[in-house]
Amino acid sequence: MSWNDALIGAQWFFFIYFVAINLAYLAQNFLSMLAMPKHLESRLLDLMPRAYSPYETPVSIVVPAYNEELTIAASVRSLLQLDYPEFEVIVVNDGSKDGTLQALISEFGLLPYPEAYWRQIPCAAVRGIYRSTKFPNLRVVDKENGGKADAVNCGINAARYPLFCCVDADGILERGSLRRVVMPFLQDPHVIASGGTVRIANGCEVRSGFLEKVHLPSNWLALCQIVEYLRAFLFGRLGWSVLNAVLIISGAFGVFRKDVVVAAGGYRHDAIGEDMELVTRLHLIHRLGGKPYRIAFVPDPICWTEAPESLKVLKSQRTRWQRGLGQSLLLNRALLWHPRGGAPGWLAFPFMIAFEWLSPLIEVGGYVFMTLGFLSGIIGATAFWTFLLLAFSLGTLLSMSAILLEEVSYHVYRERGDLWKLAAVAILENFGYRQLATLWRLQGLWQWATGTGGGWGQMTRIANWQKGS
């Protein structure tokens, strides 16, 4: 093979890859659009009397908290006002070094509460259990620091009900979110997990745990993340749900059958992306074991969470996500192309490898190769500009389609000009933000390959969307 043949082959490889990745996402979008009418029809049931309400399964809401002094009280208040027949809230203070525990004690009148603690899943030592004198369904478990996964396992051990819902300590749930995310368990006895949508709280107004107004943030990074989250949840996970191939249920908002998770060994405390690792492992266990099951995603239950507004914190988050993705795929690689793998093993797993795990390496390589080739005269202007046009236009099309899907379905952002602002972000994010995010993901891939990089890192909370009581 000549040098010229190699150059032409490389050009075609990058062209085909960039087209293939966007076509794959567009296929997800198509599946989501097919599934969306069914979800919209089910929302009409919210307007009817709930004759089935007494039969809804009780839920234990587990809230792992580490240094969440600024947001923990409002988050817990939002959980206590949920519209659901029977539930309990278990906050797990994972050895916080700030005033998280004291904020909970002061806000909810906590007192030490002696109770039996069944340690079904290994976790760090429990220092004490508290119960609220104001809300009988609120308990707080104070434990030694062990990380988020360890804290959730501790909460699962303390949970009394057959379903548990994991919610981040800075999360704000809408009143009907728990009822809607539990719905798949009522509709299908084989459902073992169900996830909802996570949206960006930056710019919104939350008072006493209630989401009062939805606003777009003024911070550019937060705006870009809103468009990203729309792509990831509205047509990403909804598309996979149609095929029963959802590999990720966000650790910020997901419901699981307790017995299934306990039998699987709980969350891995050594996993960086413990949420994806658990869901992928559940697919592996049930597929290879020939057990009927379904892992669902419901787009309209919403959990509002704070997004990073600084480059430093956002970089730490994205490199961590990439390391967690590689770890989750490696730990459950037996699912890939297994004869019993089904859609998760034959479609979702290869998709994650080719278009999520390896994509930063190939995308950065493509940009560098085409740019250097163009500047050196090896690659012609037509090929170079066609490549950039495909990369930018298809990326914009994906973002625009996600915004359109949001607008015709749930129409969350209702202020004048919001739609146009999001459309502008969908275009402008292609000029710097997406390339920067890809570089961070490439760094995360390198950290995973070399075993370097830190653990979870520190998420700096601003909480300027909290408006007090």
Single-letter amino acid code for the residue at 455? G
**Topology classification of domain 58-343:** Spore Coat Polysaccharide Biosynthesis Protein SpsA; Chain A (3.90.550)
Closest among 87, 66, 230, 79 to 149, alpha carbons compared = 66
Residues 64-121 have pLDDT tens digits of: 999 998 889 888 988 998 999 999 999 999 999 999 999 999 999 999 998 878 889 9
Domain range list for the chain:
11-22+353-450, 58-343
Find tokens 């490898």 and name the residue: 353
Conformational region of residue 266, where left means phi above 0, alpha means psi within -120 to 50, and beta covers everything else = left
162-300-266 Cα angle (round to 5):
30
Closest among 140, 181, 185, 146 to 158, alpha carbons compared = 140
In terms of pLDDT, which residue wins out, 437 or 53? Answer: 437
DSSP assignment of 76-118, as one string? HHHHHT---SSEEEEEEEES-SSSHHHHHHHHHTEEE------
In terms of pLDDT, which residue wins out, 182 or 14? Answer: 182
Query: What's the pLDDT at 59?
Result: 97
Cα–Cα separations (whole angstroms), residue 171 to 243, 303, 365, 387, 466: 28, 6, 37, 40, 12
d(CA 427, CA 439): 19
Helix (H) or strand (E) holding 12: helix 3-42
**Contact between 263 and 311 (Cβ < 8 Å):** no
DSSP assignment of 184-198, as one string? HHHH-TTEEEEEEEE
Cα–Cα separations (whole angstroms), residue 37 to 40, 44, 259, 299, 410: 5, 11, 33, 12, 11
Q: Note the helical H segments in 195-237.
A: 220-230
Q: What is the mean pLDDT of the chain?
A: 88
Out of 140-154, 345-359, 389-403, which region has the weakest mean confidence (pLDDT)?
389-403
Closest among 440, 434, 452 to 361, alpha carbons compared = 440
Indicate whether this model's pTM tops 0.85. Answer: yes
d(CA 278, CA 261): 8
* Torsion angle (degrees, nearest 10) of CA 297, 298, 301, 304: 40
Percent of the chain surpassing pLDDT 90: 54
Residue 108: which residues within 8 A CB-CB, separation 6 or more? 73, 76, 132, 133, 134, 135, 138, 140
d(CA 325, CA 352): 8
**Contact between 280 and 324 (Cβ < 8 Å):** no
DSSP state of 432: T
In terms of pLDDT, which residue wins out, 468 or 42? Answer: 42
Q: Note the helical H segments in 298-417.
A: 311-331, 342-343, 349-352, 359-376, 381-409
Residues 279-328 have pLDDT tens digits of: 999 999 999 999 999 999 988 878 888 899 999 999 999 999 999 999 99
Query: What's the pLDDT at 30?
Result: 82
**Contact between 188 and 257 (Cβ < 8 Å):** no
**Contact between 39 and 410 (Cβ < 8 Å):** no
Reduce the DSSP state of residue 451 to 3 states and report it.
Answer: coil
CB atoms near residue 4 (< 10 Å): 9
d(CA 256, CA 274): 14
Closest among 350, 346, 369, 347 to 358, alpha carbons compared = 350
